């Protein structure tokens, strides 16, 4: 953000109403110009371009974006199409796939006409773009055996469990009065008997 224009004025202008109004208008115009300049600089590169500029690239490259694509995914797809250039070599393919963010291992089985590609891609936009790369770079007489592995770590943490017993009052209505109360029935509840009463019926 640019410095406040008012701070650049001599002190004898600070109490002049006309000058304060003029500086306020120019301050707004200067900030708007600076924002447009930053946007222009960002749009010079695909990796920092905004959605409007990416749309222009997609039209030129005949790319149809998905409704669920993020801006990062669209930038990635445009970069992939722009970097696809001849001649196509095994090293170029490996460098192109590795530029996605994760190292890629290529193994060529010449007798089988098979290319084994081992990847560790996690983003949806990366996977959807692989089909275009393989069809445009790998020769048609070579079978592509692409294997994508997702690596994950098992979280390790402590789990604390707690229980609570709800106080329950047991009322026994009986004609046989005994000093000792024995409950033989099984209970599968979360209650705990904390008090009981005996009601004698005569």
Q: Where are the domains of the chain?
A: 84-151, 166-200
Over 60: is that where the pLDDT of 165 sits? no
Range with lowest mean pLDDT among 1-15, 62-76, 161-175: 161-175
Q: How far is CA 92 from CA 34, 41, 86, 144, in A?
A: 40, 29, 9, 16
In CATH, 84-151 is 3.30.1340: yes
The pLDDT > 70 percentage for the chain reads 69
Q: What is the structure's pLDDT at 164?
A: 60
pLDDT of residue 125: 66
pTM of the predicted model over 0.75: no
Q: In the predicted model, is pLDDT for residue 194 greater than 60?
A: no
Q: Are 96 and 117 in contact (CB under 8 A)?
A: no
């Amino acid at each position: 953000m640019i410095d406040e224009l008012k701070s650049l004025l001599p002190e004898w202008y600070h109490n002049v109403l006309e000058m304060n109004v003029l500086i306020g208008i120019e301050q707004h115009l200067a900030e708007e110009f600076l924002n447009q300049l930053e946007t222009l600089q960002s749009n010079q590169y695909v990796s920092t371009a905004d959605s409007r500029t990416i749309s222009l690239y997609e039209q030129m490259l005949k790319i149809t974006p998905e409704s669920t694509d993020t801006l990062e995914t669209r930038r990635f797809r445009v970069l992939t199409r722009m970097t696809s250039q001849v001649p196509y070599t095994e090293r170029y393919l490996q460098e192109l796939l590795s530029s996605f963010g994760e190292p890629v291992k290529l193994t060529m089985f010449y007798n089988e006409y098979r290319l084994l590609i081992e990847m560790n891609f996690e983003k949806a936009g990366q996977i959807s773009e692989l089909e275009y790369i393989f069809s445009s770079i790998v020769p048609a007489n070579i079978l592509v055996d692409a294997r994508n592995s997702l690596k994950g770590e098992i979280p390790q943490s402590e789990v604390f469990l707690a229980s609570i017993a709800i106080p329950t009052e047991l009322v026994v209505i009986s004609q046989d009065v005994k000093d000792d109360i024995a409950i033989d029935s099984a209970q599968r509840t979360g209650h705990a008997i904390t008090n009981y009463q005996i009601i004698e019926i005569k």
